[in-house]
Amino acid sequence: VGSAMCSYNKIRTRWSCENPETLQRDLKERLGFRGWVMSDWGATHSMSLAQGLDQEMPGADFMNAAAIEAALASGEVDASRIDDAALRILTPLFGVGAFDINNTNTQRNNVSTPAHTALARSLAARSVVLLKNNGVLPLDRTKPLRVALFGKSARAPVVGGGGSGAVVPAFVPSPYDAIRARLGLSAGTGDCGLLDASEAEGPCVAQSDGDDTLAAYELARRSDIAVVFVATSSGEGSDRASLSFDGNADLLVRAVAAAKGRRTVVACVAPGAALTPWAGEVGAVTYAFLPGQEYADGL
């Protein structure tokens, strides 16, 4: 382990990032930790070098050049402690080879590999929870099904949350494209349109963003299978406004279910618990917990 992070809370009346008992005595001396201690973002309340903190993140409100020079001049911090902090930070970086090769990469580089993509797909597939199934799943691909997809996330799926752990994938397949591929439809074929008076023949896929629930009802009525995609997400710094899915999700599901009943599938994505007041009106419900970029193909 190259680094450890102190947190926002207090430990025995002292802030975690300025607590000499836990940082200096317990972690570094008793446990022999040789890496560096950095603060969680904005978790510092003082420079705290003498207490065992090695790096303030994300800026230098307390651990800046002027403050360190003043602490050295006053004797609050010894120069050997500055050397120790620098050594603790640099040693793990040398240990992992960070200085061996000139780094010309940027955060825009695509470092995905086929093996990683395959793993992401496997994990996404295995993590989907089947909450309900009255026999509508899996889809019977031996029949020329007319599949209607509903919801904005049928084209632009929610696959992750926001905040420090957020990752922007190199690409995110859409459920619309994934289902077309699963049905063996090639580009330029299998578009059901709106399943209007021409009554398109299957297999084919139609898609509606679901803003107009009356139109969604009519499209569902003309399809063989209706799949509604609902989603919500979360991030650091704020709570979810409610336990409901985003937008008009509940109204949309109920409108589609009124037309298609047990031939309705609801595919949910959420960071945790969510309300499903329509569960008794549909045939199947799948639930994925922020499943990553390969959600669509995994599903």
The catalytic residues are 40
- Expressed in angstroms, the distance from the first to the final Cα of the chain is 36
Q: Find all residues with CB under 8 Å of 70, minimum gap 6, and list them.
A: none
Contact between residue 128 and residue 288 where contact means Cβ atoms under 8 Å apart: yes
What is d(CA 47, CA 41) in angstroms, rounded to the nearest whole number?
A: 14
What is d(CA 151, CA 249) in angstroms, rounded to the nearest whole number?
A: 8
Contact between residue 292 and residue 171 where contact means Cβ atoms under 8 Å apart: no
Contact between residue 278 and residue 253 where contact means Cβ atoms under 8 Å apart: yes
Instruction: Identify which of 35, 40, 30, 50 has the alpha carbon closest to the alpha carbon of residue 9.
Output: 40
Only one residue has tokens 């470092």, namely 111
Cβ of 254: how many Cβ atoms within 10 Å? 18
What is d(CA 278, CA 251) in angstroms, rounded to the nearest whole number?
A: 9
Only one residue has tokens 């031996």, namely 142
Helical H runs in the chain? 20, 65-74, 79-95, 114-127, 175-182, 213-222, 249-260, 295-298
Contact between residue 157 and residue 295 where contact means Cβ atoms under 8 Å apart: yes
